[in-house]
């Protein structure tokens, strides 16, 4: 591509100058593979960005979007409805963990997080508990990039240029504990007690009756695939129950089969009050996100407002967009009809075996995995944190495999349609890339 034609697009979360000097351009995609502008086939080891769980260019989804665009391209979401929105909500509620069945649509994971935080504060207020305004997140948590999300999120780098985050927030520490849990297969044995810090902080630094909600990713994805220690999430649930605090699970990555189960909530047998999701909800094909909410929360809003009043003054021009709803219904059909969550569970043992077979490769400090997600943590090059991670990412790209890196952690999360041979190739390539990287 002509470098001048690349000037206008200011790319998100990208080293723009580095990228534009040596661009990596994807021009088409099908099944497990991207094609780049040189005609190379690239094995998608990341489901795009943790979202294309059913694989690329799936006909039923493409056709559903085409049909919808030709039938009803857009409908205002405020004070108006359209059938696909109700159908999509019904379908999502049906497949949600038992006990969560009200669906509020948004357009992304970031919007889902900020909407959930607003909903939590407003929920307490409509019940007459207006003092609950504080929000607790976790170090190394990622809840998108909007102001609520970065405030409860735990990534300093995402906040340093924006020192105006919400003030009424606090954070508990991350569960990452290499000293005790390195090279664990599946859920780590040690660290359930990290949850007790929640109780310690809210009772000593705060008044627990001022806390509206706790938000965590059941498994932290973007900051390096941090699997929750056994018992940790249950303990968080108990503490939230004890103090009347809502528990929000950000399942933007963990939803829709990634962990070898439909939801992390079911995988870990812990029911939050609100699940946020996005990504796999529409197979990444059209932007879409959602909150799935306990009926008691929904009902509190309904009970508090007069019949003609807007119960929750919040929403977007593109909430429940017809194309997104059509994509989502078709996606959920595909997951069901092809048994893709079970397929992920069936493939998980081989995925685990191949991931951990890399143990012993130089620079590898940890390998962790669950379902069809794995993180490979490398030691950092002295004075250049993140440089080795980027090198491995670039080497994999040269070898025709797309992985992600976050600092010096390589993350893989392929579409759930991956074959055994592709799993083998994915990890073999990562091993070679690490070996060759300086």
* Chain residues in the site for ligand PMP (CB under 6 A): 108-110, 113, 142-144, 217, 221-222, 250, 252-253, 278
CB nearer to ligand PMP: give 221 or 375.
Answer: 221
Q: How far is the CB of 138 from ligand PMP (least distance, A)?
A: 11
Q: How far is the CB of 342 from ligand PMP (least distance, A)?
A: 23
CB nearer to ligand PMP: give 250 or 273.
Answer: 250
Strands 134-138 and 169-172: parallel
CB nearer to ligand PMP: give 250 or 408.
Answer: 250
Q: How far is the CB of 104 from ligand PMP (least distance, A)?
A: 15
CB nearer to ligand PMP: give 188 or 221.
Answer: 221
CB nearer to ligand PMP: give 217 or 391.
Answer: 217
Tokens of 334: 């595909």
Q: How far is the CB of 233 from ligand PMP (least distance, A)?
A: 15
Q: How far is the CB of 259 from ligand PMP (least distance, A)?
A: 13
Go through the chain and tell me how many residues it has: 438
CB nearer to ligand PMP: give 56 or 258.
Answer: 258
Q: How far is the CB of 363 from ligand PMP (least distance, A)?
A: 25
Q: How far is the CB of 416 from ligand PMP (least distance, A)?
A: 17
Q: How far is the CB of 268 from ligand PMP (least distance, A)?
A: 15
Q: How far is the CB of 137 from ligand PMP (least distance, A)?
A: 11
CB nearer to ligand PMP: give 208 or 375.
Answer: 375
Q: Quick one: 22 exposed, middle or buried, by C-beta within 10 A (0-12, 13-18, 19+)?
A: exposed
**Phi, psi values for residue 24, rounded to 5°:** -115, 105
Distance CA 387, CA 385 (A): 6
CB nearer to ligand PMP: give 220 or 423.
Answer: 220
Q: How far is the CB of 92 from ligand PMP (least distance, A)?
A: 16
**Phi, psi values for residue 134, rounded to 5°:** -90, 150
Q: How far is the CB of 1 from ligand PMP (least distance, A)?
A: 25
Q: How far is the CB of 140 from ligand PMP (least distance, A)?
A: 11
CB nearer to ligand PMP: give 226 or 367.
Answer: 226
Which residue in 273, 204, 271, 286 sits closest to 244, CA to CA?
273
Distance CA 132, CA 243 (A): 11
- Torsion angle, alpha carbons of 133, 166, 144, 140, to 10: -90
Which residue in 1, 355, 316, 301 sits closest to 123, CA to CA?
301
CB nearer to ligand PMP: give 174 or 429.
Answer: 174
CB nearer to ligand PMP: give 154 or 221.
Answer: 221
CB nearer to ligand PMP: give 50 or 341.
Answer: 50
Distance CA 118, CA 141 (A): 18
């Amino acid at each position: 591509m002509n470098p001048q034609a690349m000037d206008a697009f200011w790319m998100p979360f990208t080293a723009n100058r580095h990228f534009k000097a040596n661009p990596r351009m994807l021009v088409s995609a099908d099944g497990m593979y991207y094609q780049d502008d040189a005609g190379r086939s690239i094995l998608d080891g990341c489901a795009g960005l943790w979202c294309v769980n059913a694989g690329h260019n799936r006909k039923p989804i493409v056709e559903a979007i085409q049909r919808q665009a030709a039938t009803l391209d857009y409908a205002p979401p405020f004070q108006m409805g359209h059938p696909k929105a109700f159908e999509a909500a019904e379908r999502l509620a049906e497949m949600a963990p038992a006990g969560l069945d009200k669906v509020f649509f948004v357009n992304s994971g970031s919007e889902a997080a900020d909407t959930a935080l607003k909903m939590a504060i407003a929920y307490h207020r409509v019940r007459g508990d207006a003092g609950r305004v504080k929000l607790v997140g976790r170090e190394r948590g990622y809840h998108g990039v909007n102001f609520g999300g970065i405030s409860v999120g735990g990534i300093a780098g995402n906040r340093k240029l924006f020192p105006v985050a919400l003030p009424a927030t606090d954070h508990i520490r991350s569960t990452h504990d290499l000293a005790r849990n390195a090279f664990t297969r599946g859920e780590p044995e040690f660290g359930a007690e990290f949850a007790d810090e929640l109780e310690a902080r809210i009772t000593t630094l705060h008044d627990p009756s001022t806390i509206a909600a706790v938000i965590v990713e059941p498994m932290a994805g973007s900051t390096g695939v941090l699997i929750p220690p056994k018992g940790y999430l249950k303990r968080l649930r108990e503490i939230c129950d004890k103090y009347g605090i809502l528990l929000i699970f950000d399942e933007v990555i963990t939803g829709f089969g990634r962990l070898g189960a439909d939801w992390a909530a079911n995988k870990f047998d812990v029911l939050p009050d609100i699940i946020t999701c996005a990504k796999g909800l529409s197979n990444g094909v059209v932007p879409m996100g959602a909150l799935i909410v306990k009926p008691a929360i929904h009902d509190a809003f309904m009970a508090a407002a007069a019949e003609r009043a807007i119960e929750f003054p919040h929403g977007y021009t593109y909430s429940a967009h017809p194309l997104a709803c059509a994509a989502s219904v078709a996606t959920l059909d595909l997951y069901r009809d092809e048994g893709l969550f079970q397929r992920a569970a069936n493939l998980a043992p081989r995925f685990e075996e191949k991931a951990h077979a890399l143990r012993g490769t130089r620079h590898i400090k940890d390998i962790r995995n669950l379902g069809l997600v794995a993180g490979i943590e490398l030691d950092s090059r002295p004075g250049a944190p993140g440089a080795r991670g980027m090198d491995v990412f670039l080497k994999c790209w040269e070898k025709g495999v797309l992985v992600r890196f976050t600092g010096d952690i390589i993350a893989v999360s392929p579409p759930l349609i991956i074959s055994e041979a592709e799993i083998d190739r994915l990890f073999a390539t990562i091993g070679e890339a690490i070996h060759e990287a300086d």
